[in-house]
Amino acid sequence: MKSSLTMVSLLILLLFGTAPAFADVLLVDSIQSAPRIQTPQNGFTMSQIRQQYGNPVAELPAVGDPPITRWDYDGFSVYFEYDLVLHSVVHRAANN
């Protein structure tokens, strides 16, 4: 009985002990292989973004309260709250 309990414990340890290591490696590989895109920093104004990055490919109208506006560029989108950058998001590659 003791031997089978030890075997079961060892099997569980092997199954669950190695899975997170593989997941971490895949995540790190994915991040390292992603292209680096310079995106706008939080707090910049719409005019500063337009000056630095040019006109966006698309400007979506403001939604909600506070108003959130999205500008799409090639490779990333910029979200504004009123006139200030709230967040920038890099677009996912088409093959992912």
pLDDT tens, 4-14? 666 666 666 65
Any domain includes 41? no
Quick check: bond before 66 cis, omega within 30? yes
Q: Would residue 6 count as lying in a domain?
A: yes
Is the confidence at residue 58, as pLDDT, over 80?
yes
8, 28: one domain:
yes
Q: Examine residue 24 and state whether it is found in any structural domain, yes or no.
A: yes
The reply to whether 4 falls in a domain is yes
In terms of domains, do 24 and 56 share one?
A: no
Mean pLDDT along residues 52-73: 96
Number of domains in the chain: 2
pLDDT at 37: 80
Q: Is position 39 within any domain?
A: no
**Cβ count near 19 (within 10 Å):** 10
pLDDT in tens, 37-50: 889 999 999 999 99
The size of the chain, in residues, is 96
pLDDT of residue 83: 95
- 12 in a domain, yes or no? yes
Q: Which domain holds residue 19?
A: 1-34
